[in-house]
């Protein structure tokens, strides 16, 4: 590359970083720099015809912008499409890493639910038996018996657990501190019983934090190692792991995550997520998440009778008075007239989706480095995931 082009590219990268760091809605660049070094192009590759490639590529084109700094999208089923766009980090302006690892947030719950159902198939737990049977002494007598199934489908009635705050700003101050799963559950217990078990579906991480502790108690092993030997290693998910000992890093190649904190874009990549545990501490890749959903829906992870139960939604209302939509680790969506099952996830700087039609005619997995990952996840999904189901 000629020196002048390299200089212009460097100038533009610096300008982009400064503009986004200030939280500006537009990407102001020096005069002439944009012409000499255009915005990094999206990489859109159709591996097999079928998906709406034009709409998918349009979704990722133009990154970084005010809403996201990078994105990876993988579409499969009948046809295959891959898209990568944006920058690896705002400081260098280098193109986004393809096949990068990321914080997968609550898509962790698909892994956790699969492990619980494996244990049920092995006869080591009963889905309709009280979790108190497997975690004796954890819950005081005033807590009614709640079944393992009710934890899986978010109808246990437990109140949310302890946390470092409700806002990203509050949590940011504690990003390198450790809040153990036991402390999270203790906070829920201290708040006292909520609704009666089985009465209402109220989505909360607390259910899956308890399930993670149950897995450890029943197996006599760490949750992270059980995920490795039960899910990741058998499926060849080489990019996936649950951090241990409060490790705040994303190990391996990754695109850095940014979130607005006090009005300024801040690098939030390093963060100890121990408190999310079995509910949301997964590190993964789009290829691994695609492998997970395809293998799961084919019956290769959970035996078929238990897999069928993952798609069973309790006949109760959710906390907003609507029909419940969450089964055992999976949520039901309707997109462009199609029934789709999957899970969303968000951690500061990262928004994730893994979803598929039940017959696997269409699958999608994405990671978007959203600058408001904990905000309107539906808006992000409409932009990056919905086009996968256009046809």
- Give the domain CATH number at 286: 3.40.710.10
Question: Structural domain of residue 17, as residue ranges?
Answer: 1-38
248 and 361 share a domain? yes
Query: Do both 3 and 134 map to the same domain?
Result: no
Whether residue 10 lies inside any domain: the answer is yes
Which of 7, 106, 114, 370 is flagged as catalytic? 106
Residue 55 belongs to some domain of the structure = no
Q: Going residue by residue through the chain, which has 391 residues, state the pLDDT in tens, using 9 for 90 and above.
A: 444 444 444 444 444 444 454 443 333 223 333 333 445 568 999 999 999 999 999 999 999 999 999 999 999 999 999 999 999 999 999 999 999 999 999 999 999 999 999 999 999 999 999 999 999 999 999 999 999 999 999 999 999 999 999 899 999 999 999 999 999 999 999 999 999 999 999 999 999 999 999 999 999 999 999 999 999 999 999 999 999 999 999 999 999 999 999 989 999 999 999 999 999 999 999 999 999 999 999 999 999 999 999 999 999 999 999 999 999 999 999 999 999 999 999 999 999 999 999 999 999 999 999 999 888 788 999 999 999 999 8
106 is known as an active-site residue: yes
Same domain assignment for residues 159 and 288: yes
Domain contains 66: no
If one counts the domains in the chain, the total is 2
Same domain flag for 25 and 118: no
One domain for residues 229 and 132: yes
Question: Distance between CA 75 and CA 73 in Å, rounded?
Answer: 7
Q: How far apart are alpha carbons 253 and 97 in whole angstroms?
A: 7
Within a domain: 189? yes
Residue 62 located in a structural domain: no
Residue 275 neighbours by CB under 8 Å, 6+ apart? 161, 162, 163, 164, 178, 179, 180, 181, 183, 184
Return the closest-CA partner of residue 330 out of 369, 350, 302. 302
Please check whether residue 323 lies inside any domain of the structure. Answer: yes
Q: Which pLDDT tens digit goes with each residue over 125-175?
A: 999 999 999 999 999 999 999 999 999 999 999 999 999 998 999 999 999
């Amino acid at each position: 590359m000629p020196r002048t082009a390299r200089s212009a590219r460097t100038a533009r990268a610096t300008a982009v970083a400064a503009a986004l760091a200030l939280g500006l809605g537009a990407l102001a660049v020096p005069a002439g720099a944009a012409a000499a070094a255009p915005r990094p192009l999206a990489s859109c590759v159709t591996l097999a015809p079928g998906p709406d490639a034009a709409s998918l590529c349009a979704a990722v084109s133009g990154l970084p912008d005010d809403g996201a700094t990078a994105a990876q999208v993988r579409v499969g089923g009948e046809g295959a499409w891959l898209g990568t766009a944006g920058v690896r980090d705002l400081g260098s302006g280098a193109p986004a890493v393809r096949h990068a690892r990321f914080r997968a947030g609550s898509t962790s719950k698909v892994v956790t639910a699969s492990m619980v159902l494996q244990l049920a198939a092995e006869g080591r737990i009963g889905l309709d038996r009280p979790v108190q049977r497997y975690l004796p002494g954890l819950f005081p007598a005033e807590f009614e018996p709640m079944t393992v199934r009710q934890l899986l489908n978010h109808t246990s009635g437990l109140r949310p657990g302890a946390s470092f705050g409700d806002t990203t700003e509050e949590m940011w101050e504690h990003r390198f501190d450790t809040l153990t799963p036991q402390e999270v559950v203790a906070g829920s217990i201290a708040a006292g019983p909520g609704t009666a078990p089985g009465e209402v579906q109220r989505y909360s991480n607390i259910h899956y934090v308890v399930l993670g502790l149950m897995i450890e108690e029943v197996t006599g092993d760490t949750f992270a190692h059980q995920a490795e030997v039960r899910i990741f290693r058998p499926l060849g998910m080489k990019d996936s792991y649950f951090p241990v000992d409060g490790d705040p890093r994303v190990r391996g190649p990754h695109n850095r995550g940014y979130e607005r904190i006090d009005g300024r874009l801040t690098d939030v990549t390093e963060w100890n997520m121990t408190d999310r545990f079995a509910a949301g501490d997964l590190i993964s890749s789009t290829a691994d998440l695609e492998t997970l959903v395809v293998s799961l829906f084919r019956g290769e992870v959970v035996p078929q009778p238990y897999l069928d139960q993952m798609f069973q939604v309790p006949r109760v209302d959710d906390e907003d008075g609507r029909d419940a939509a969450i089964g055992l680790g999976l949520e039901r969506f309707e997109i462009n007239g199609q029934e789709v099952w999957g899970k969303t996830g968000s951690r500061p700087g990262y928004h994730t989706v893994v979803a598929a039609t039940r017959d696997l005619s269409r699958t999608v997995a994405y990671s978007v480095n959203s600058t408001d990952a904990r905000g309107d996840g539906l808006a992000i999904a409409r932009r990056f995931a919905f086009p996968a189901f256009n046809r």
